Amino acid sequence: MEHFSAIQSLCRVGLEQGDARFRRQVERLRDRLKKAGDERDADVLGGLLNSVSGEASLAPSIVEVSRSLVSGDELTANVQAPVDRETSVPLAEIVLEPGLGKPEPIYNETLHLALAGLISEWERTSALQAMGVEPSRSCLFYGPPGTGKTLTAFMLAARLRLPVVNARIDGLVSSFLGTTARNIANLFEFANRYRCMLVLDEFDALAKMRDDPHEVGELKRVVNTLLQNLDARADRGLTIAITNHDGLLDPAVWRRFENHIHIGLPDAQTRLLMLRTFLASLKLNDDVLKMLSFVAGSRSGSDLRTFADSLRRNLALSGDEVSPATVTKATKAILPRLGLGSDDLEPGYLLVKDETSFIGAILHADLGIRQESLAQMLECSQSKVSRSSSEWEARVAQSNAG
């Protein structure tokens, strides 16, 4: 396309403002380019959408959610959360500014679109109501630990300028007969009274009661209470439930949620984006970031954050200047502590114990890392890198033949 590089720059600047309408226009342009067979330019815009979705993601344009969607008294610092009657432990935490001190969640494009769709329903409630449809009000996030589910719920609330009533379901489960059901009823009554987003975290805790034979009767009562309360809340407020074990959820409970969003482990591109963001202060080049992403393997955002923080701490204490070689050295030093190098098939293990295999594996992972950069990271000659690569190929060919 003519003048595409100028269009690309315009799109980048526009996307960084975080306006959802602008983003939609860029998405439309990408789709049109694709349809017209201009795959290369469409991919460039796709990449741009992806990278800015991570950096700018949910925060920039704050949406004031309509009173017709979420009504009720204002939550203030003086309002106390309800407590468990037996133990006096609060049933929920009230978070008045859910975005405060939280990092921006980073997602792949599919997830970004799913969340943007949810936000646009809440943002454009009146457009929906004019057409005689109501926005959905409930969403279940499910996926492995550490993938940013709780973070995402909080960022959604921050984006809508709503305080969060955050209840961990395991905190509602009481050993006193009847108290769990009462806690649930009290929690919902509280959330319905205030203008807030209700977040039900660790939602599978109820399902775990099934494992205890003494709890079966109680569980029935508790699930019924939960269903009744979810139904009663269906036309008021916003509710997000979060679970690691979607398979454990009662199907009737699952059905009560209008949206089910899977927040899975980040893909390779998102991992790279996460590391680029978490390690932004080190100003690492792309090849070093790709090496780190390869070493980290398919880990959660939370693991990558820990990895990045440990790396920064190690570099800070070593007194070394940041360079490809010192970053690799620091990586080798922290891997054993992070459990990233424990399995002998893992890239982290190879980096520490078997450099030849590491070189072969990373060069054949099609990450586009140049041999020259790898030589800098490993402090060896380029010919050593190239020799190791051939040696690895020969070894793989031999083991395939055998």
Contacting positions for ligand ATP (CB under 6 A): 103, 105-107, 145-151, 244, 274, 301-302, 305
**Considering only CA atoms, which of 171, 70, 167 is closest in space to residue 121?**
70
Tell me the two tokens of residue 11.
């799109």
Region of 215 (left: φ > 0; alpha: ψ -120 to 50; beta: rest) is: alpha
Nearer to Mg ion, 150 or 229 (CB): 150
Residue 289 binds: one of Mg ion, ligand ATP, none (C-beta under 5 to 8 A by kind) = none
Nearer to ligand ATP, 86 or 97 (CB): 97
Nearer to Mg ion, 98 or 347 (CB): 98
Residue 147 binds: one of Mg ion, ligand ATP, none (C-beta under 5 to 8 A by kind) = ligand ATP
Nearer to ligand ATP, 150 or 357 (CB): 150
| Shortest Å, Cβ 196 to Mg ion | 18
| Shortest Å, Cβ 164 to ligand ATP | 13
Residue 293 binds: one of Mg ion, ligand ATP, none (C-beta under 5 to 8 A by kind) = none
Which residue number has the CB closest to Mg ion? 150
| Shortest Å, Cβ 343 to ligand ATP | 21
Residue 360 binds: one of ligand ATP, Mg ion, none (C-beta under 5 to 8 A by kind) = none
Which residue number has the CB closest to ligand ATP? 301
The residue ranges that bind Mg ion (CB under 5 A) are 150
Provide the angle, in degrees to the nearest 10, between the axes of the packed helices 39-56 and 109-123. 60
| Shortest Å, Cβ 246 to ligand ATP | 12
| Shortest Å, Cβ 124 to ligand ATP | 25
| Shortest Å, Cβ 293 to ligand ATP | 14
Tell me the two tokens of residue 341.
């190098």
Residue 129 binds: one of ligand ATP, Mg ion, none (C-beta under 5 to 8 A by kind) = none
CA 307, 308, 313, 318 torsion-angle sign: positive
| 164 vs 97: CA distance, rounded Å | 8
Nearer to ligand ATP, 136 or 302 (CB): 302
Nearer to ligand ATP, 195 or 305 (CB): 305
Residue 61 binds: one of ligand ATP, Mg ion, none (C-beta under 5 to 8 A by kind) = none
CA 39, 40, 44, 45 torsion-angle sign: negative
Nearer to ligand ATP, 108 or 373 (CB): 108
Contact status, residue 257 vs residue 139, Cβ threshold 8 Å: yes
Nearer to Mg ion, 244 or 259 (CB): 244
| Shortest Å, Cβ 36 to ligand ATP | 33
Nearer to ligand ATP, 214 or 313 (CB): 313
Tell me the two tokens of residue 344.
């002998």
Contact status, residue 99 vs residue 154, Cβ threshold 8 Å: yes
**Considering only CA atoms, which of 136, 111, 139 is closest in space to residue 122?**
136
| 355 vs 336: CA distance, rounded Å | 16
Residue 164 binds: one of ligand ATP, Mg ion, none (C-beta under 5 to 8 A by kind) = none
| Shortest Å, Cβ 243 to ligand ATP | 8
Q: How many CB atoms lie within 10 A of CB 269?
A: 15
Query: What's the Cα-to-Cα distance from 363 to each of 23, 266, 275, 348, 360, rounded to whole Å?
Result: 35, 21, 20, 15, 5
Q: How many CB atoms lie within 10 A of CB 319?
A: 7
Q: How many CB atoms lie within 10 A of CB 20?
A: 14
| 365 vs 61: CA distance, rounded Å | 38
Residue 92 binds: one of Mg ion, ligand ATP, none (C-beta under 5 to 8 A by kind) = none
| Shortest Å, Cβ 376 to ligand ATP | 29
| 245 vs 236: CA distance, rounded Å | 27
Residue 244 binds: one of ligand ATP, Mg ion, none (C-beta under 5 to 8 A by kind) = ligand ATP
**Distance, C-alpha 349 to centroid of its chain:** 26
Pairing of strands 93-95, 164-168: antiparallel
